[in-house]
Amino acid sequence: FTIKRAELRMVHLPLLTPFVISTGTMTHKTFPLLILEADGITGIAEGVMDPLPDYLEETTAGALDLLRTAVLPKLVGMRIASPTDIAPLLAPWRGNRMAKAVAEMAVWDLWARSLDLPLCALLGGARDLIEVGVSLGIAPLDVTLDRIAEAQAQGYRRIKLKIKQGHDLALLAGVRDQFPDIKLTVDANTDYGLTDLATLRKMDAFGLDYIEQPLAFDDILDHVQVQAALQTAICLDESIRTAKDARIALQMAAARVINIKVGRVGGIAEARAIHDVCAAFGAPVWCGGMLEGGVGRAHNIHLATMPNFTKPGDTSSASRYFARDIINEQLEAKDGLMSVPQGAGIGVTLDMAYLDTVSDVVEVWTA
Ligand code: OSB
Ligand code: MG
């Protein structure tokens, strides 16, 4: 097919509850949405970068600039036989994996729809349900206990608690006191250093499935020392952008588990490569999330059908985050299982009437 039209929007959705992590608080989800059209079919994707670079370096402003000046003017008019055809268009630009992922993922969706196949089928995924857990933001112990009880009642398969320095061991002790047997993990979003090794070692007492990203976003090497000092598995999120990063981390034993976020790593091709290198090392992966709207959430669900996604992911019900989503379908987990949206591509369609009220068109390109 030939890409005939691209429409780039900025979407602004209020979150039902502020989401607090060690690096800051989110009250809204603001993201670019790309709509590609080719011969009567549409491919869609959203970006996971934030307005300010508090999770990783990319920003929405930077992503819009790269997409508008370097990527989309060339993508429109391109003849595409398979999604890897766009690699040469993205390869000259350093980094900016979140921005590149927006274009790459929309092309995958378009390709799958052009073949009338669900995206998961093209990825070799063989499940129609994926196991999911919840990620709970930083909150006082009593609030956290209530949120865990609610998630347990809804059947979620794993509870992930956001932690930061000074909001860790007492929280874990209080949670384990009430919930001795639940599958529990923590995510530090880079808040610790090697000087905190004693605190991190104390976390071994709580039977955690893994500790996610304790050290710096741009560091793999120092995690080797943490993993060597702990019984609990380390899981890397921010530090892994490429299959090479994953290979190095597993070779050096910096981690035993990897969180794959398709937006963070530059798209589906790189996410698959990371999935495969982890499988080769016998390291399980799981699908992370960035509080995505329905389009990003659907991409995540399809990705998580691949065989080495053996731990519950963060792709929980959209209704946990938003009063209303930008898609027509409901992405709701039942008993901790999320159904893979049926139909071609990512299997979801935009609710244009609502989208128009929560987004602005940034630019449109036509061939
Ligand atoms: O580190 O996984 C993270 C949300 C925003 C930024 C970083 C992270 C998260 C989450 C939420 O944990 C996962 C989700 O429910 O989408
Ligand atoms: Mg994380």
Ligand 1 atom nearest to 288, measured from its CA: 2
Residue whose CA lies nearest to ligand 1 atom number 13: 289
Map 54-74 to HEC letters.
CCCCCEHHHHHHHHHHHHHHH
Residue 344 within a domain: no
Q: Residue 133 is part of a domain; what is its CATH number?
A: 3.20.20.120
pLDDT given at position 43: 98
pLDDT given at position 16: 98
Strand, coil or helix: what is 9? strand
Q: Which two tokens stand for residue 4?
A: 């005939």
Residue 345 within a domain: no
Residue 192 within a domain: yes
Ligand 1 atom nearest to 316, measured from its CA: 15
- 153 plus 224 within the same structural domain: yes
Whether residue 162 lies in the annotated active site: yes
Q: What would the mean pLDDT of 329-342 be, rounded to a whole number?
A: 98
Q: What would the mean pLDDT of 261-266 be, rounded to a whole number?
A: 98
pLDDT given at position 255: 99
Q: Which two tokens stand for residue 17?
A: 């509850």
Q: Is the dihedral of CA 239, 240, 246, 248 positive or negative?
A: negative
User: What is the H or E stretch that residue 30 is in?
Assistant: strand 24-38
Q: Which ligand is nearest to the CA of 288?
A: 1
Which region, left, alpha or beta, applies to residue 364 given φ > 0 means left and ψ of -120 to 50 means alpha? beta
pLDDT given at position 154: 98
Q: Which ligand is nearest to the CA of 156?
A: 1
Q: How confident is the model at residue 233 (pLDDT cuts 50, 70, 90)?
A: very high
- 154 plus 9 within the same structural domain: no
Q: Does residue 314's CB lie within 6 angstroms of at least one atom of ligand 1? A: yes
* Number of domain units in the chain: 2
C-alpha to C-alpha distance for 107 and 84, rounded to whole angstroms = 9
Question: How many CB atoms sit inside 10 A of residue 207's CB?
Answer: 15
- 275 plus 215 within the same structural domain: yes
- 73 plus 188 within the same structural domain: no
pLDDT given at position 276: 98
- 159 plus 284 within the same structural domain: yes
Ligand 1 atom nearest to 162, measured from its CA: 12
Whether residue 261 lies in the annotated active site: yes
- 128 plus 48 within the same structural domain: no
C-alpha to C-alpha distance for 42 and 253, rounded to whole angstroms = 42
Q: How far is the CA of 50 from the centre of ligand 2 (A)?
A: 14
Beta-carbon contacts of 331 under 8 Å, excluding residues fewer than 6 positions away, are: 294, 297, 298, 301, 315, 317, 318, 325, 338, 341, 348
- 91 plus 213 within the same structural domain: no
What radius of gyration, in Å, describes the C-alpha atoms of the chain?
A: 20
- 307 plus 193 within the same structural domain: yes
Q: Does residue 289's CB lie within 6 angstroms of at least one atom of ligand 1? A: yes
C-alpha to C-alpha distance for 300 and 265, rounded to whole angstroms = 13
Q: Does residue 214's CB lie within 6 angstroms of at least one atom of ligand 1? A: no
Q: How confident is the model at residue 254 (pLDDT cuts 50, 70, 90)?
A: very high
- 227 plus 311 within the same structural domain: yes
- Whole-complex ipTM: 0.98
Residue 213 within a domain: yes
Residues 242-252 pLDDT 10s: 999 999 999 99
- Read out DSSP for 302-365? HHTTSTTB-S-BS---GGGT-SS-SBSS----BTTEEEPPPSSBTS--B-HHHHHHHEEEEEEE
Tokens 């429109």 appear where?
76
Ligand 1 atom nearest to 189, measured from its CA: 1
- 178 plus 283 within the same structural domain: yes
Residue 307 within a domain: yes
- 56 plus 18 within the same structural domain: yes
C-alpha to C-alpha distance for 107 and 101, rounded to whole angstroms = 10
Domain that holds residue 233: 121-339
C-alpha to C-alpha distance for 57 and 96, rounded to whole angstroms = 8
Q: How far is the CA of 29 from the centre of ligand 2 (A)?
A: 17
Residue 282 within a domain: yes
Residue 65 within a domain: yes
Q: Which protein residues have a CB closer than 5 Å to ligand 2 (ion)?
A: 187, 212, 237
The one-character DSSP state at 231 is: S
| Active-site pick, 29, 100, 261, 311 | 261
Residues 284-304 pLDDT 10s: 999 999 999 999 999 999 999
Q: How far is the CA of 124 from the centre of ligand 2 (A)?
A: 26
- 36 plus 175 within the same structural domain: no
- Read out DSSP for 154-178? TT-S-EEEE-BTTBSHHHHHHHHHH
Residue 170 within a domain: yes
pLDDT given at position 282: 98
Q: Please give the single-letter amino acid code of residue 253.
A: A
Q: How far is the CA of 361 from the centre of ligand 2 (A)?
A: 30
Average pLDDT, the chain: 98
Q: How far is the CA of 85 from the centre of ligand 2 (A)?
A: 31
pTM score: 0.98
Q: Does residue 291's CB lie within 6 angstroms of at least one atom of ligand 1? A: yes
